[in-house]
Amino acid sequence: MRRIAAAALLVALAVTSGACGPISWLVAVLAPPKRIPAVYELPEDKKVLVFVDDIVKPVRYEAVKRELTEGINDRLLKEKVAGETLPYEHLFRLIASRPDFNLLSIFEVGKLLGADLVVYVRLDEFSLKDSPNVPLWHGKLRTTVRVMDVSGKPLWPLDRPAGHVVEVEMPEVIDASNTYGTELASQMAERMAERIARLFHTHYVPRDIWETETGAR
């Protein structure tokens, strides 16, 4: 009650002083977070393979595939939207044991690993700098996401056969450290994992952030 009373007093003071800035700030602080429903709900109690693939544009930083896979797996299990996920090591062993791996279809990979469905994440862009000759880092990661049954049946998105695009762009940072690239790649993988997992479960976003990202009011 004290917080509400104090907020009401601040609003009254802001109104009488004609200050628009404080009012906007208070509205943002007091407004409830925005509820964002899942874009697609995964079928219940299924064994899920998260397949991060760079076959079109191979990445130099191989660890990003493992980090992205593990990040998505962890979030799907935490939010209880997947009955079970397959560890990255299972996919890695299959890749190592099959010289013809790149000839396999997405659902064939899932079937060989005993999955029920595949969350396919294609890496379309991965870059750490706009120019390799300057210490200015500007991370960009873009993926296309699809979900399919191991029978070969596409599940989502049905209206966009190419898939759902998810992007992460990091702010520019000047850093001469030789290890910053690894740190930046991990940060992008973490953000991308969160954004992809959120496609499949309801989540809440602070209203001011939601309005900034969507342009809604």
Distance CA 6, CA 25 (A): 14
Q: Is residue 148 part of a domain?
A: yes
Of the listed ranges 37-46, 62-71, 129-138, 199-208, the one predicted with least confidence: 199-208
For residues 119 and 158, state if they share a domain.
yes
Beta strands in 60-176 (DSSP E): 84-85, 117-129, 136-149, 154-156, 164-169, 173-174
Does residue 42 fall inside a structural domain? Answer: no
Check whether residue 24 and residue 87 sit in a common domain. Answer: no
If pLDDT is split at 50, 70 and 90, which confidence band does 214 have? very low
Helices (H) and strands (E) in the chain, counts: 7, 9
For residues 77 and 12, membership in a common domain is answered with no
The answer to the question of residue 134 being in a domain is yes
Whether 38 maps to a domain, the answer reads no
Structurally, the chain folds into a number of domains equal to: 2
Q: Give the pLDDT score at 140.
A: 96
7 with 77, same domain? no
Same-domain check for residues 110 and 169: yes
Considering the domain architecture, whether residues 184 and 105 belong to the same structural domain is answered as yes
Flag whether pLDDT at 163 surpasses 70: yes
Give the integer Cα–Cα distance in Å for 148 and 46: 12
Same structural domain, 66 and 120:
yes
CATH code assigned at 187? 3.40.50.10610
Q: What is the pLDDT of residue 66?
A: 97
Is 138 inside a domain boundary? yes
- What mean pLDDT is reported for the chain? 85
Confidence grade of residue 177 (pLDDT, cut at 50, 70, 90): confident
Distance CA 121, CA 199 (A): 12
Is the same domain home to 18 and 111?
no
Q: Is residue 92 part of a domain?
A: yes
Residue range(s) defining the domain that contains residue 21: 2-30
Pair (21, 81) in one structural domain: no
Q: Is residue 172 part of a domain?
A: yes
